[in-house]
Amino acid sequence: MSKLKIALEKRLDEIFGKYIRIRDFRKGCITCGCRLTYETATCGHYMKRRHKATRWSEINCNAQCWACNHSDDDALYRLRLVNLIGEAEVQQLESLAHDYADFTITDLNDLITKFKILTHEATN
């Protein structure tokens, strides 16, 4: 992977994570329900970040506390996600995660722009 792509993915991870935290911190941790602030919220991936096809999916990510984000108990996260988006959507997410995904430089730039706009809207 090119150096530019690596840098863009890193930038996208930052902007996307910021967006998820701003969008969700008021709801508390999706897994344990504890209260969060923007500062204590983390961007928790249901299907892990190594699955590129769902790495920047808005339904795959929710605010989590640090402990839940670093726990290996994904069963509870799954249960909460089913409550939030439904079993069919969760199954679709699990299937999509294993698809091959190749993001071009244009794709990455477009996603960066998209989440910058969404973050701006969520802030105001």
Q: Which is nearer to Zn ion, 31 or 54 (CB)?
A: 31
CB 78, CB 93: distance < 8 Å: no
- Strand partners of residue 42: 64
Q: Does 47 bind Zn ion (CB under 5 A)?
A: no
Piece of the chain touching Zn ion by CB under 5 A; list 8-16, 30-38, 48-56, 74-82: 30-38
DSSP state of 47: S
CA 114 to the chain's CA centroid:
14
Pick the closer one to Zn ion by CB: 12 or 62: 62
- Residue 36: CB minimum distance to Zn ion, A: 8
Cα 52 to chain centroid distance, Å, stands at 11
Interaction of residue 42 with Zn ion, rule CB under 5 A: no
- For Zn ion, the closer of residues 22 and 108 by Cβ is 22
Using the rule CB under 5 A, give the single segment among 16-24, 35-43, 54-62, 65-73 that binds Zn ion: 65-73
Could you tell me which residues come within 8 angstroms of residue 106 by beta carbon, excluding any fewer than 6 positions away? none
DSSP of 19-39, one letter per residue?
A: HHHHHHGGG--TTT-----TT
Instruction: Specify the residue for token string 């730039």.
Output: 109
- Out of 31, 54, 60, 119, point to the residue binding Zn ion (CB under 5 A): 31
Q: Mask of contacts with Zn ion, 81-110, x by CB under 5 A?
A: ------------------------------
- Residues near Zn ion (CB under 5 A): 29, 31-32, 65, 68
